[in-house]
Amino acid sequence: MANISPVEYNILLDCVPPVRSMKKTPFQPLSCDIMSEERVKKVANGKININIEMKRKRDVDEQGNKQKKVHFQNIMTREEQEKKKEEKKKKKKEERKKKKKEKKKKMREEKKKKKKEEKKDKKKKKAEKKKKKKEEKKKAETRKRPLSMEGYTKLEEGGNIQKRPCLEEKRPLQLRVTSYSTHAVLGHGGFGTVMLATCSNKSQPVAMKVIHKAENRRSIAKEVRLLRMASGCPFLCHAHAAFQTKLAACIVMEYASGNSLEKFIKRTGKLKMDAITFYTAEIICGLQFLHANGIVHRDIKLDNILLTGEGHIKIADFGVAVEGMFGQKKVVGKAGTVQYMAPEVLQRRGYDAGADWWSLGIVICKMATGMTPFTSSVIHDEPLFPKCLGAEIKDLLHKVGTRTRVCP
């Protein structure tokens, strides 16, 4: 340092870089103190251009500043990106919350709609039940009245039947023996006993038929089925209830207070022509209903034709009836009462609904004369019809009384 002139010393001072901040750069000795003597000589001789070096340093400083600026900018952009991400997250959360609220609202609205629909359905069901009850009441009322026979199918010649759909069967009420109290015996038969009874809940009398189950299980089931079907015709005996015990089956039927035609004729004697035609017409209506549903009674007689208190006919006792008699189908075998049997039944040949019409002819003759139209043999003799009968009844008897009978 002693050999350097004052001018050179000033030049060296210019080479010292300015301090930017005391915090970043601690107090250090100047670079001129560290500079070697060779460098000083080069500067003095002009070999080193200080201005060029200063420019280089300035360029370096500027580049460093630029890099720092870029670095700071990158830092700022990261922060902004993070802020943007946070804002996006917040927006997404808010959107999710909104969606959840909307879903909840929709669910509430749907629940309200469902409740309203359920209320409407309940109201509709109640209204339908009321309508059904009203219809049932109307049907019950119409059953009590005499029904028209216009819709029944006609029978073909020779007793054959045109098949038609059977009526819907309505089951009688299931009750017990203790529900009824018996008062008197109305009659006895081969299948059981018929008694006068009343229900504990009602004062209206009924007829209770008690049948032993040991030997008549099939006939009991068949008779119950036919009584159910008979509810569609006012000229057939109807059933109110059916139940059983260990030994017997009980069928509760409507009570015909006028007793049977047999007892009525014994009490009053021969019937007048008006009464004969009236009863015959109602019996024909009942038989047409049975035959249209494929049923042959096989035991039409005065004992099985009952009279109501109003004077109408009720055909009863379906114990020996046959089902499914449609078309050309025939049945073989004796059934019923001998006085009323048709010749083909007695000869054990195949027969159909014509056997019932033959029995009706015997019933008509007994109503008019109190006797059968045959004197000796049903098979060989021709029937003798009473002269007091009208032309229509005689024509009917000639149709049903011939060997090749035509059904009315």
Identify whether 395 is a catalytic site residue. no
Give the residue numbers of the binding site for ATP: 209
Residue 371 pLDDT grade (very low, low, confident, very high; cuts 50, 70, 90): confident
Q: Which option is the CATH number for 166-254: 3.30.200.20, 3.40.190.10, 1.10.10.10, 3.40.50.970?
A: 3.30.200.20
Distances (CA, A) of 79 to 70, 75, 218: 14, 6, 99
CA 309 to chain centre: 41
Could you report the per-residue pLDDT of 83-92, keeping only the tens digit for each? 888 888 888 8
CATH class of 261-401: mainly alpha
Phi, psi values for residue 289, rounded to 5°: -65, -45
Q: Report the pLDDT averaged over residues 113-122.
A: 88
Residue 214 pLDDT grade (very low, low, confident, very high; cuts 50, 70, 90): confident
The answer on pLDDT for 286 being more than 90 is yes
Q: Where are the alpha helices (DSSP H) in 269-390?
A: 273-292, 343-346, 354-369
Q: Where are the domains of the chain?
A: 6-18+32-99, 166-254, 261-401
Return the top range by mean pLDDT from 114-128, 130-144, 182-196.
114-128
Q: Report the pLDDT averaged over residues 243-258.
A: 85
Distances (CA, A) of 306 to 272, 289, 301: 18, 17, 10
Distances (CA, A) of 374 to 258, 300, 334, 343: 29, 17, 19, 12
Q: Report the pLDDT averaged over residues 348-366.
A: 88
In the set 299, 317, 352, 356, the catalytic residue is: 299
Closest CA to 198 of 187, 189, 188, 206: 206
Amino acid found at 191: F
pTM > 0.75: yes or no: no
Running DSSP on this structure, what letter comes out for residue 351?
B
